[in-house]
C-alpha cells in the first residue's frame, strides 16, 4: 500500500508545480501584453499629434517619384519660387537631363539630390525615408502622377506617416499613355508590405550608396559620354 501511495503524492506535487508555473507565466504574459498595448497607444497618440502639427507647417521638401521627366520639370518650376526647399528625386531621369531642366527653369540646384537605388515605388520610400529623416523633414510634397494613385499616396502616408512626416500629394498630369498600370492586386501587395515596413523601419535604417548632389553633375563629362532625355523635356 505504501508503494502505491508514493506515486500519487509525487503526481500531486508535479501537477501542483505545473499549475503554479502555468499561472505564473500566464500572469506575466497578460501583463506583458497589456504593457505592449499601452506603449503602442502612447506611440500612436504621440505620432498623431506630431502629424497634426506637421500638417500646418510649411513644406520642408519635395519627394519626386521617378517615371516621367514632366514631374522633374514641375518641381523645378515650383522651387524656382522657394529656393530654400529641399528636393529628393528618387530614380528619376538621367542626371544631366535633370540638371538641364533645372537650369532652363532658372531653379536653384544646391538643395537638389538624386537617389538612384530605387527600382520600384516601394523602393522610392524604402530608400527615401532615411534621407528625409536625416534632413529633419516634417512635411513633404509627394510629386507623382494620376497613374500611380492611390497606391503611391497610401504607401507614402503609411511609411512616412509612421515617422511623423506629413504627406501632401502633388499630382502632375501626364501626356500620352502612361507606362504604369495600376491593379487591385498590385495596390494590395504594396500596401501590405508598406505596413510591415512601417514597423521594421522603426528599428532598421537602409542606406543608399547612390545619392548624388545635382551641382556635382558635370554636363561636359556627360556630353562626352552621351545621354538621352525624354522627348517631353524638349532637350536637343
Place of cell 514641375: 74
Give the total residue count for the chain. 236
Find out whether 86 and 137 touch, Cβ atoms under 8 Å: yes
pTM of the predicted structure, to 2 decimals: 0.83
CATH code of the domain in which 154 resides: 3.40.50
Residue 214 lies in a domain: yes
The per-residue pLDDT for 148 is: 87
**Three cell numbers written together for 176:** 500620352
Q: What is the mean pLDDT of each run of 10 residues along the chain (236 residues)?
A: 53 58 66 70 76 90 94 95 94 95 95 96 97 97 92 96 95 74 90 96 95 96 92 82
Q: Give yes or no for a cis peptide into 150 (omega within 30° of 0).
A: yes
Q: What is the pLDDT at residue 1?
A: 46
Give Cα 193 distance to the centre of its chain: 11
According to DSSP, the β-strands at 112-115 and 211-213 are antiparallel
User: Does any domain span residue 128?
Assistant: yes
Q: How many domains does the chain fold into?
A: 1
Domain extent for 165: 61-231
The pLDDT value recorded for residue 21 is 61
91 CB-side CA count, 13 A: 16
Amino acid at each position: 500500500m505504501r508503494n502505491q501511495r508514493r506515486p500519487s503524492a509525487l503526481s500531486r506535487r508535479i501537477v501542483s508545480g505545473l499549475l503554479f508555473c502555468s499561472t505564473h507565466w500566464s500572469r506575466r504574459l497578460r501583463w506583458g501584453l497589456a504593457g505592449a498595448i499601452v506603449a503602442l497607444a502612447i506611440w500612436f497618440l504621440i505620432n498623431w499629434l506630431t502629424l497634426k502639427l506637421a500638417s500646418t507647417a510649411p513644406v520642408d521638401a519635395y519627394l519626386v517619384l521617378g517615371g516621367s521627366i514632366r514631374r522633374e520639370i514641375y518641381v523645378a518650376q515650383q522651387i524656382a519660387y522657394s529656393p530654400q526647399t529641399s528636393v529628393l528625386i528618387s530614380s528619376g531621369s538621367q542626371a544631366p537631363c535633370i540638371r538641364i531642366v533645372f537650369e532652363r527653369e532658372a531653379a536653384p540646384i544646391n538643395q537638389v539630390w538624386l537617389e538612384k537605388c530605387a527600382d520600384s515605388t516601394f523602393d522610392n520610400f524604402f530608400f527615401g525615408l532615411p534621407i528625409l529623416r536625416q534632413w529633419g523633414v516634417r512635411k513633404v510634397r509627394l510629386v507623382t502622377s494620376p497613374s500611380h494613385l492611390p497606391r503611391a499616396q497610401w504607401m507614402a502616408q503609411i511609411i512616412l506617416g509612421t515617422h511623423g512626416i506629413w504627406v501632401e500629394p502633388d499630382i502632375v498630369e501626364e501626356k500620352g499613355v502612361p507606362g504604369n498600370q495600376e491593379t487591385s492586386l498590385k495596390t494590395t501587395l504594396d500596401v501590405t508590405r508598406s505596413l510591415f515596413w512601417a514597423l521594421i523601419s522603426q528599428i532598421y535604417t537602409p542606406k543608399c550608396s547612390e545619392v548624388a548632389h545635382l551641382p556635382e553633375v558635370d554636363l561636359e563629362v556627360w556630353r562626352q559620354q552621351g545621354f538621352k532625355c525624354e522627348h517631353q523635356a524638349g532637350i536637343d
